[in-house]
Amino acid sequence: MTAASAGIPTGVHVLFERDGAVLLMRRANTGFFDGLFSLPGGHVEPGESIRMAAIREMAEELDVCIDAADLDLVGVVHRLSDTNRIDFFLRAHRWRGEPRRAEPDKCDALLWAPPHAVPGNTVTYIRDALACELPAPWVVEQGWPGVSF
């Protein structure tokens, strides 16, 4: 498969909510949005569903276990950044374990913040997704010419 036919990179992000706040991670040493806060997540690998990717990424990044039945779709961001990308946002209703920096070489801080008051150094499309007040599941298009939502 050539790069042109490889498809659209697909990401998954998980919202962990506690006391009116969501869990954010500050990226470090990845070469992608380093120094910025983001939701925990990552890329969907070949052969994975979005829920399978979310479960794997949360185990790798936060050392927590989630069952697929405890993940609900809340929205999708289709964005034009360095490439054409699609990011799915899931909400975890339950999880086992206390979130911690399980990959300290890729994440240098965890922060619980209200969704509408995230730090200024939060990835733009993450901040926009957290500000959505549309009924779930919502779809946001970002960076596309002529699209204003």
Measured CA to CA in angstroms, residue 93 lies from 33, 89, 146, 147 at distances of 27, 13, 36, 32
CB 80 within 8 A of CB 140: no
Residue 109 backbone dihedrals phi, psi, to 5 degrees = -165, 150
Question: Domain span at residue 75?
Answer: 14-142
Q: How confident is the model at residue 121, as a pLDDT? A: 96
> 5 vs 74, which has greater pLDDT?
74
Q: At 122, which helix (H) or strand (E)?
A: none
On whether residue 41 sits in a domain, the answer given is yes
Confidence (pLDDT) at 1: 36
pLDDT in tens, 6-51: 678 899 999 999 999 999 999 998 877 889 999 999 999 999 999 9
Total number of domains in the chain: 1
CA trace torsion 92, 147, 127, 138 (10° rounding): -20
Q: What is the pLDDT of residue 139?
A: 85
Does any domain span residue 138?
yes
Regarding predicted confidence, which is higher, 112 or 138?
112
Taking 70 as the threshold, does the pLDDT of residue 5 lie above it? no
Structure-block tokens of residue 63: 């050392």
Percent of the chain's residues with pLDDT above 70: 92
Q: Domain holding 88: CATH number?
A: 3.90.79.10
Q: To the nearest whole number, what is the mean pLDDT of the chain?
A: 89
6: in domain: no
Report whether pLDDT(80) > 90. Answer: no
Q: Does a structural domain hold residue 63?
A: yes
